[in-house]
């Protein structure tokens, strides 16, 4: 009894007395007793989100329901600051085995399908509304063999 009465007379306030609960952020740094408020991120910064879709070229289509897609991006060189091409291959799900080597596809992020597959390969809609240019050349000019 004499110890508790002496503590009350001294008016000591400790978070450990009487089983008081304290947060870990108060105890994380020794000089953080002055600032009891946790650090909050500024409200004006948008949250960082991962890339949800990418575009690449199919480089391997031999596996069943799986295609290997190579994505090329430009990144600055760490020393010379010139933009260089960085390539990375991703495994993508192709449920209908519709893509061949050389096709340009879009990769959509999805739940993990297997250990290495977290993308689904989706065909890219053409910009001019036509599915393909088999009858015309690369520049949209009809080939001589197709003319009557």
Q: Which domain CATH number covers 98?
A: 2.40.50.140
C-alpha atoms less than 13 angstroms from C-alpha of 38 in its C-beta half-sphere:
7
Residue 75, Cα to own-chain centre: how many angstroms?
16
Is there a domain that residue 136 lies in?
Answer: no
27: enclosing H helix or E strand: helix 24-27
Is there a domain that residue 1 lies in?
Answer: no
Is there a domain that residue 134 lies in?
Answer: no
Q: What pLDDT, on a 0 to 100 scale, did the predictor assign at position 135? A: 47
Instruction: Tell me the pLDDT band of 53, cut-offs 50, 70 and 90.
Output: confident
Is there a domain that residue 115 lies in?
Answer: yes
**Stated pTM of the model:** 0.53
Which of 11 and 89 is assigned the larger pLDDT? 89
Can you give the length of the chain in residues?
148
Which residue range is the domain that position 58 belongs to?
A: 54-122
Is there a domain that residue 145 lies in?
Answer: no
Q: What is the mean pLDDT of residues 69-92?
A: 95
Domain tally, the chain: 1
Is there a domain that residue 137 lies in?
Answer: no
Is there a domain that residue 69 lies in?
Answer: yes
The rounded percent of the chain whose pLDDT value lies above 70 is 51
Are 1 and 14 within 8 A, CB to CB? no
4: enclosing H helix or E strand: helix 2-10
Range in 37-46, 70-79, 80-89 with the lowest mean pLDDT:
37-46
What DSSP character marks residue 17? Answer: G
Could you report the per-residue pLDDT of 88-129, keeping only the tens digit for each? 999 999 999 999 999 999 999 999 999 999 999 999 977 776
Is there a domain that residue 117 lies in?
Answer: yes
At residue 78, does pLDDT exceed 70? Answer: yes
β-sheet bridge partners, residue 54: 107
Are 67 and 94 within 8 A, CB to CB? yes
Q: What pLDDT, on a 0 to 100 scale, did the predictor assign at position 114? A: 94
Q: What pLDDT, on a 0 to 100 scale, did the predictor assign at position 97? A: 94
């Amino acid at each position: 009894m004499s110890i508790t009465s002496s503590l009350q007379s001294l008016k000591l306030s400790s978070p450990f007395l009487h089983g008081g609960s304290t947060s870990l952020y108060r105890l994380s740094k020794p000089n953080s007793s002055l600032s009891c408020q946790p650090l909050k991120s500024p409200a004006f910064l948008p949250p960082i989100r991962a890339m949800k879709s990418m575009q690449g070229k199919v480089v391997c289509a031999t596996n069943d329901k799986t295609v290997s897609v190579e994505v090329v991006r430009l990144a600055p060189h760490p020393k010379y600051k010139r933009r260089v091409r960085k390539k990375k291959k991703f495994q993508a799900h192709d449920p209908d085995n519709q893509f061949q080597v050389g096709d340009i596809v879009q990769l959509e992020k999805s739940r993990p399908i297997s250990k290495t597959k977290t993308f689904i390969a989706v065909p890219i809609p053409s910009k001019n509304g036509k599915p393909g240019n088999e009858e015309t050349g690369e520049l949209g000019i009809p080939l001589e063999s197709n003319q009557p």
